[in-house]
Amino acid sequence: MSSPETGQAGLWHGTTILTVRKGGVVAVGGDGQVSIGQTIVKANAKKVRRLGGGAVIGGFAGATADAFTLFERLESKLEQYPGQLTRAAVELAKDWRTDRFLRRLEAMMIVADKDVSLVLTGTGDVLEPEAGIVGIGSGGNYALAAARALADGPLEAEAIVRRALDIAADICVYTNRNVTVETLPA
């Protein structure tokens, strides 16, 4: 059985991607670990990147090749619908769910621009998180809980993402401390 977190045949284990909106800033961060079974095959993968000419930040959990395919498709949708992340995401989700090739892709994505943060799944979901905080991947729930606990304190969005990912790395064996964080003013 496979899932977005474990990948094909249950061998791949995911990552941790977290988004926080606070104080007029959106921050998206992710760890760098790629594992197959019990083996770490890469410790410094970049799973967070800018899209749409730098106006959108995306992060993925799941199979790397599948995620890059989805990033390319999202870039195409962002060119088709400039400045409309939600519309581009909905169009990608429709394709992802109905296209025979895309349907088999094993990944989840978080995308954010100055206005909205969204989670995209292969089942056609386009979800906007409550309170501007969302986590995906094998350590996503740990990072989400930590970020929610930190959100009312003095830390800014990027610092919350970094601290929450650090906490997730203490708990999830598929999450490391080689993080990439991108930010945008909201």
Q: Are 148 and 131 in contact (CB under 8 A)?
A: yes
The mean pLDDT of 137-156, rounded to a whole number, is 96
Residue 61: pLDDT over 90: no
Phi, psi of 65 (to 5 degrees): -60, -40
According to DSSP, residue 147 is labeled H
According to DSSP, residue 38 is labeled T
Q: What percent of the chain has pLDDT over 70?
A: 87
Q: What SS3 state is found at 48? A: strand
Which of 45-49, 54-58, 62-66 has the weakest average pLDDT? 62-66
- Provide the whole-model pTM: 0.89
- The catalytic site residues sit at 15
Q: C-alpha distances in angstroms, 128 versus 19, 28, 118?
A: 11, 14, 5
Domains along the chain with CATH numbers: 8-177 (3.60.20.10)
pLDDT band at 103 (very low <50, low <70, confident <90, very high): low
pLDDT of 102 reads 59
pLDDT of 9 reads 39
Other C-beta atoms lying within 10 Å of the C-beta of residue 72: 11
Q: Are 176 and 45 in contact (CB under 8 A)?
A: no
Mean per-residue pLDDT over the chain, rounded: 87
pLDDT of 101 reads 59
